[in-house]
Amino acid sequence: DLDDIFLLRIAQQVRPHDYLILGIILRLEYSEIEAIKSSNPHNSKVWVFLVLREWIQRQNENVNQKTVLAEALRDLGRMDLARKVKVDIKPATGQYLTTERSDVVQIGEDSNLTVQIIVDLKTRKTPVKL
């Protein structure tokens, strides 16, 4: 459904530092995402591609890969890329991402930006905080 060339074209348009957020949205484990970074510590340009490859390898035949990837890109704030994956993708209707994750992850911190993903265990929703 989604081949390596297509994934590479999408990955090249995602900011390298968004690899972790995208991986979490695609429901990869934090440790797996960090292992991708550790295996290529000086090549951030491939991190997004490798996250996408790891995700795609786990998908079974019953999953509509284009829909899942388009929704993940939309939730990442990249509606332009979501529409390249699936033309008829709808904008998000709320401010929450549905997830089953139950951990807190400090994504990064510098003087201008801190990002955390926190799951509300009652609602199973993740408010996106930037």
Whole-number pLDDT of residue 1: 67
CATH number reported for the structural domain that contains residue 20 in this entry: 1.10.533.10
Give the pTM: 0.69
How confident is the model over 42-79, as pLDDT tens digits?
999 899 999 999 999 999 888 999 999 999 999 999 99
Count of domains observed in the chain? 1
Question: CA of 46: how far to CAs of 22, 52, 77, 91, 105, in Å?
Answer: 13, 10, 20, 27, 22
Whole-number pLDDT of residue 75: 94
Residue 28, domain member (yes or no): yes
Residue 21, domain member (yes or no): yes
Range of the domain at 78: 4-93
**In which residue ranges of the chain is pLDDT below 70?**
1, 93-130
Question: At residue 127, what are phi and psi to the nearest 5 degrees?
Answer: -70, 135
Residue 45, domain member (yes or no): yes
